[in-house]
Amino acid sequence: MSAETIEKAIEKKPAEALLSKRRKKLVTDPLVDDNPITIQVLGICSALAVTTQMKPTLVMAISVIFVVVMSNLAISLLRNTIPTRVRIIVQLAVVATLVTLVSEVLKAFAYDMYKELSVFVGLIITNCIVMGRLEAFALGNKPYDSVLDGLGSALGYSWIILAVAFFRELLGSGSVFGVPVYEYISGLFGPDFKLATNGLMVSSVGAFIILGLIIWVQRTITGYVEH
């Protein structure tokens, strides 16, 4: 018996709902409980580098979402054909291609953004979240699940870097998405009132502090302990 009957048993199982509980968990887990930045502490480099302002951070977040989701899909589709001995280099080639695509598109349609993000778009290749998900998930799971998993991880990464960027831009430059919030608030209190911006927040030290505080708050709430 064995192989054949098991295969039949699998075939007879009713199709899993498009957004079953397990699949929802794939997306929601990395948002908080298993967040790539605050829990796994991956992708810190770009979280520090691109978060002085919200606009470039948003572009970076979208780029990472695209790269993680698409590479997860590609690797998952190829998972049964990729020779194990060269799987890392295959993953790297796929990721590098996607990153180059993002970079080329930015160069054509948002040249200012391309200049501002400069080297950091290219560095998505080395973002541990991308290869981490490929190795840990996409190589052993079906395409749809892998896409959801990638989406979850990328969103987990995105909301954290956007949160860091929000505080850094607000406290460091007195604005949000380039809108001068501080100027507006100062205006409410008369001409002599001025809110001071904090230069520390613009430097990478500011990112460390904000990130540390976010991790602290989050771990206090969830009660997560490093094992």
Partner 1 sequence: MQQSNVYIITFSVILTVVLGLLLSGTSQVLGPLQKEAIALDKKKQILGAVISGEEIDAMSPEQINAFYANRISSVVVDINGKEVTEQAGAPVNAENVDIAKNYKKPADQRLFPVFIFHAEGDNEAVESYIFPLYGAGLWDAIWGFIALDTDMNTVGGITLAHAGETPGLGARITEPGVQERYTGKEIFDQNGELVAIQMQKGEGKDYSSDPHKVDGMSGATITGNGVNAMLQNYLGYYKSFIESKKNSQAVAEAL
Q: Which residues bind partner 1 (CB under 8 A)?
A: 49, 81-86, 89-90, 93-94, 97, 100-101, 104-105, 107-109, 111-112, 114-115, 118-119, 202-204
Which C-beta is closer to partner 1: that of 82 or that of 162? Answer: 82
**Cβ 93 to partner 1 shortest distance, Å:** 6
Q: Are 165 and 51 in contact (CB under 8 A)?
A: yes
**Distance of CA 184 to CAs 54, 189, 204, Å?**
18, 9, 26
- The answer for residues whose C-beta is within 8 angstroms of residue 166's C-beta and 6 or more apart is 54, 176
**Residue 198 or 204 having the CB closest to partner 1:** 204
DSSP 89-115: HHHHHHHHHHHHHHHHHHHHH-HHHHH
Q: Which residues contact 93 (CB under 8 A, 6 or more apart)?
A: none
Closest separation between CB of residue 98 and partner 1, Å?
10
Of 97 and 218, the one with the shorter C-beta distance to partner 1 is 97
> Is the Cβ of residue 102 or residue 155 nearer to partner 1 in the bound state?
102
Residue 105 CB, shortest distance to partner 1, in Å, is: 7
Compare residues 104 and 183 and give the one whose CB is closer to partner 1: 104
- 182 versus 224: smaller Cβ distance to partner 1: 182
Distance CA 92, CA 208 (A): 29
Least distance (Å) from partner 1 to the CB of residue 100? 6
Q: Least distance (Å) from partner 1 to the CB of residue 96? A: 8
> Any alpha helices (H) in 36-86, and if so which ranges?
44-49, 54-78
Those residues whose C-beta lies under 8 Å from the C-beta of residue 154, and which sit 6 or more positions away, are 61, 64, 65, 67, 68, 69, 129
Min dist. Cβ of residue 82 to partner 1 (A): 7
